[in-house]
Chains A and B, each alone.
Chain A
Amino acid sequence: MKKIMITTASLLMAATAAQAGEQIQIVGSSTVYPFSSYVAEELGATTKIKTPVVESTGSGGGMKLFCAGAGLDTPDFTNASRRMKDNEFKTCQENGVKEITEIVVGYDGIAIAQSKEAAPMNLTRKEIMLAVAAEVPNKAGDGLIANPYHFWNEINSELPHRKITLYGPPTSSGTRDAFEDMILKGITKHMSVYTNLYKADEKKNKKYKKFHEIRQDGVYVPSGENDNLIVQKLAKDVDALGIFGYSYLEQNIDSIAAATVEGVAPAPETVQNGSYKLSRSLYFYIKKSHIGQVSGMKEYAKLFTSEQMIGDEGACAGIGLIPLPKEMRDHYRKQLADMTNLTAEDLTRK
């Protein structure tokens, strides 16, 4: 017993005495995670550099850890499925993370998918918004009511008489953020029914500026971070639609099919040329102060931006990343070589 206690004590002391390891630490979005960890593995397998640790914390969680400080125990990279927010940049600056380089690696499409057995479906962003928003305009269009729709043909008589059920990501997910941004906020901020309410009382009706509340009467079913689960549910529930990342659609193409949005199906080409509206850019951010202190950071970033990974025929494209157009890839490679600093102005410019 005495021996055990002595060992424990010495172990604990060793722990506090030793420094944090020199392994690259990457945190952030669960959407970028598959690509990021793929690159990490490649780096570890083909060079002498230790394989970076990639943790999937969600975009917001990643930013929080990344901006917590400049110490070596903080992450060296953070992945994000959206751009860094102004206030996150400010937190970073305040905590001593002054120099950050931003890189875009590709696109991710959000797919609205259904069972392969269901009849093809074409929806507009507005129709999807009307199906999921907590409050929608009334018949006259001059006020808001709790969402009364339970069948698609109630929204648009040309749509089939099919029950509305949507399996989608929960609030913690980056896909949910993107879905709210693109479907709800993107539409409601242009609809006077919502914005008039905001203008009438800016304090009390703040939420109507960009209304993005999702209904909670069981029509929209939050289904956990695990997108595989949504795929399984869709295969069983033929009426339902599911919302998830494009890579899952690609892997499960034998059991589910995508609904078209405004007549366009999700595919690499339609995302690149912007005709498929439900897509977003994927980012990673580099903590410049760690370069030189943690070995392999430059090599990792270089490998991630290489044609071999994110090119049209690259390995990441094989697992669901939608590549950037060629000139954009070159642009970000140059940005990486120059280690361009991210500035607050960059983030406010759209």
Chain B
Amino acid sequence: MAELMLKSALQSDARKRRRNRADRRFKWYGFTALVLAMAFLVFFFIDIIGKGLPAFQQAEMLVQVSYSEAVKDNYNLALDKISRKLVSRSWLRTIPMMLEDHPELVGTTSEEWVVTDYHIDQFLKGHEGHGLIEKDQKLVEKLCEEGKIKLAFNSGFFTHGDSKMPENAGILASAIGSVLVLLLTMLVAVPIGVMTAIYLEEFAPDNRFTQLIEVNINNLAAIPSILYGLLGLAIFINFMGVPRSSALAGGLTLALMTLPIIIIATRAALRAVPETIREAAYGLGASNLQTVWDHVLPLAKPGILTGAIIGLAQAMGETAPLLIVGMMAYIPEAPHSILEATTVLPAQVYTWSGESIRAFEERTAAGIMVLLAVLLSMNALAVRLRNRSETNW
């Protein structure tokens, strides 16, 4: 008898050990997955930041500029022969226009720090394939020792639009474009999305038709974004005549894409408001509108905002639909209205990644860093809003 009990105890002991082992293994699988995911993320960040950081510095050179009368016709004459080939033509070529606007400068000379050609910039940063010839390398090294060439903060990256000369290329135009497009997306998608959700959740009868709509909205949230681009092209550009490449075309297209996300988030937020609140309002004789507007909506607001911000953050990083409506183009000037041609940050990153000049590689990475920073802060805002106004019913 005792033997039998011992045996069964041993057996159950072995079973228990086996179960514990499986348990530990399972835990390890999960942990490995996490480590793997983290490793990818860390690798991505190290790669992007390593490549992108140098772009925030830019080689500058101290030059003697003489604004003589002849400079108006030939900007090369503003500098001596040696510095002429070292500085960026993007600055040099603007001199005649500048003199036209400021005639009082003609005949003066000045000492200025100006941006150098990208070859020198790349050489100073020690990048491979800088393409600076041997003779100039020595010259640049000499000037560096004399303190006439230095690496300084690249403010041009934030104050210029796109350029074909890497040293002159910046994100200003695309950043303004992104803001405009996002603003339009918000103005269109948030009111329509929220109203749709309120109707579906609070007013609509539960029948076949509304069920059909519900299934479709859930589906739309998951379809590839490029389809929205095609839809936008057909409706807004070809049918409604919105100008191609404009912020309006982009904003409306992205609004289409964001709508389902906002609707779903808003409905979830409304559903989270307990039925007792509504019943209390009805009990006091409030109408449907009063109940929703004064009681349910304010309580659901944090959830709606979170959903809207996440939807907009997604729209902000989107490129595929914008390719179709013509926003992936060379547009160096910031738009003055929503009807003018505009590009957006992710489109700018994409355009730079295809440039043949190697110096654009660091600009691409820097552009990604800016984009990531914006997206992270948007998501942080969403999380903060959610935490701050979290209510326990």
Residues of A near B68 (CB, < 8 A) are none
* Contacting pair B329 A53 (CB below 8 A): yes
User: With A and B bound together, what is the CA distance between A97 and B339 in angstroms?
Assistant: 25
Stretch at the interface among B59-67, B92-100, B149-157: B92-100
* Contacting pair B358 A15 (CB below 8 A): no
Interface centre among B96, B165, B330, B354 (most CB of A within 10 A): B330
Residues of A near B337 (CB, < 8 A) are 18
User: With A and B bound together, what is the CA distance between A255 and B131 in angstroms?
Assistant: 12
Let me know if A40 is at the binding interface, CB within 8 A. Answer: yes
* Contacting pair A15 B242 (CB below 8 A): yes
Stretch at the interface among B107-115, B183-191, B263-271: B183-191
Query: Contacts A34-B356, A225-B354, A227-B356 known; A40 to B330 CB distance under 8 Å?
Result: yes
Let me know if B338 is at the binding interface, CB within 8 A. Answer: yes
Residues of A near B329 (CB, < 8 A) are 53-56
Let me know if A319 is at the binding interface, CB within 8 A. Answer: yes
* Contacting pair A247 B187 (CB below 8 A): no
Let me know if A88 is at the binding interface, CB within 8 A. Answer: no
Let me know if B384 is at the binding interface, CB within 8 A. Answer: no
Residues of A near B194 (CB, < 8 A) are 1
Q: Write the A184-209 contact mask toward B (1 if CB under 8 angstroms, else 0).
A: 00000000000000000000000000
Let me know if B296 is at the binding interface, CB within 8 A. Answer: no
* Contacting pair B326 A73 (CB below 8 A): no
Residues of B near A36 (CB, < 8 A) are 330
Let me know if A320 is at the binding interface, CB within 8 A. Answer: yes
In whole Å, how far is A4's beta carbon from the nearest beta carbon of chain B? Answer: 5
* Contacting pair B90 A16 (CB below 8 A): no
* Contacting pair B356 A73 (CB below 8 A): no
User: With A and B bound together, what is the CA distance between A250 and B357 in angstroms?
Assistant: 9
User: With A and B bound together, what is the CA distance between A319 and B166 in angstroms?
Assistant: 12
Let me know if B134 is at the binding interface, CB within 8 A. Answer: no
User: With A and B bound together, what is the CA distance between A69 and B96 in angstroms?
Assistant: 38
Among B96, B129, B248, B332, the residue within 8 A (CB) of A254 is B129
Let me know if B141 is at the binding interface, CB within 8 A. Answer: no
* Contacting pair B187 A11 (CB below 8 A): yes
User: With A and B bound together, what is the CA distance between A56 and B241 in angstroms?
Assistant: 21
User: With A and B bound together, what is the CA distance between A320 and B356 in angstroms?
Assistant: 9
* Contacting pair B191 A1 (CB below 8 A): yes
Let me know if A251 is at the binding interface, CB within 8 A. Answer: yes
* Contacting pair A255 B129 (CB below 8 A): yes
* Contacting pair A15 B332 (CB below 8 A): no
Across the interface, name the chain A residue whose C-beta is closest to B94: A45
User: With A and B bound together, what is the CA distance between A7 and B187 in angstroms?
Assistant: 8
* Contacting pair B354 A55 (CB below 8 A): no
**Could you tell me how many residues of chain B have their Cβ less than 8 Å away from some Cβ of chain A?**
42
Let me know if B333 is at the binding interface, CB within 8 A. Answer: yes
User: With A and B bound together, what is the CA distance between A319 and B357 in angstroms?
Assistant: 8
Query: Contacts A73-B244, A320-B356 known; A46 to B187 CB distance under 8 Å?
Result: no
User: With A and B bound together, what is the CA distance between A41 and B328 in angstroms?
Assistant: 16
What is the interface residue range for chain A against chain B?
35 or more
In whole Å, how far is A127's beta carbon from the nearest beta carbon of chain B? Answer: 28
Let me know if A335 is at the binding interface, CB within 8 A. Answer: no
* Contacting pair A15 B338 (CB below 8 A): yes
Let me know if A23 is at the binding interface, CB within 8 A. Answer: yes
Residues of A near B129 (CB, < 8 A) are 251-252, 254-255
Query: Contacts A55-B330, A56-B329, A226-B353 known; A4 to B187 CB distance under 8 Å?
Result: yes
Q: In chain A, residues 71-111, which have Cβ atoms closer than 8 Å to a Cβ of chain B? A: 73
Let me know if A222 is at the binding interface, CB within 8 A. Answer: no
* Contacting pair B356 A53 (CB below 8 A): no
* Contacting pair A252 B358 (CB below 8 A): yes
Let me know if A8 is at the binding interface, CB within 8 A. Answer: yes
Among B94, B332, B353, the residue within 8 A (CB) of A51 is B332
User: With A and B bound together, what is the CA distance between A41 and B332 in angstroms?
Assistant: 8
In whole Å, how far is B147's beta carbon from the nearest beta carbon of chain A? Answer: 29
* Contacting pair A53 B94 (CB below 8 A): no
Residues of B near A18 (CB, < 8 A) are 337, 339
User: With A and B bound together, what is the CA distance between A38 and B356 in angstroms?
Assistant: 13
Let me know if A228 is at the binding interface, CB within 8 A. Answer: yes
Q: Write the A231-257 contact mask toward B (1 if CB under 8 angstroms, else 0).
A: 000000000000000011011101100
Residues of B near A250 (CB, < 8 A) are 356
* Contacting pair B93 A251 (CB below 8 A): no
In whole Å, how far is B283's beta carbon from the nearest beta carbon of chain A? Answer: 26
* Contacting pair B93 A46 (CB below 8 A): yes
Among A4, A50, A73, A228, the residue within 8 A (CB) of B191 is A4
Query: Contacts A11-B184, A41-B164 known; A46 to B328 CB distance under 8 Å?
Result: no
* Contacting pair A21 B357 (CB below 8 A): no
Across the interface, name the chain A residue whose C-beta is closest to B97: A46
Q: A51-B332, A251-B129 are in contact. List 5 more A-B contacts (CB 8 A).
A: A25-B245, A45-B90, A48-B97, A247-B356, A250-B356
Interface residues of B (CB under 8 A from A): 89-90, 93-94, 96-97, 128-129, 163-165, 184, 187-188, 190-191, 194, 240-245, 248, 326, 328-333, 337-341, 353-358
What would be 19 A-B contacts, judged by CB atoms less than 8 Å apart? A4-B187, A4-B191, A8-B188, A15-B242, A18-B337, A21-B340, A23-B340, A34-B164, A42-B93, A45-B97, A53-B245, A53-B331, A55-B326, A55-B329, A228-B356, A251-B129, A254-B128, A255-B129, A319-B164
**7 A-B pairs with the lowest CB-CB distances in the bound complex, closest first:** A55-B329, A37-B330, A54-B330, A53-B341, A38-B164, A251-B356, A8-B187
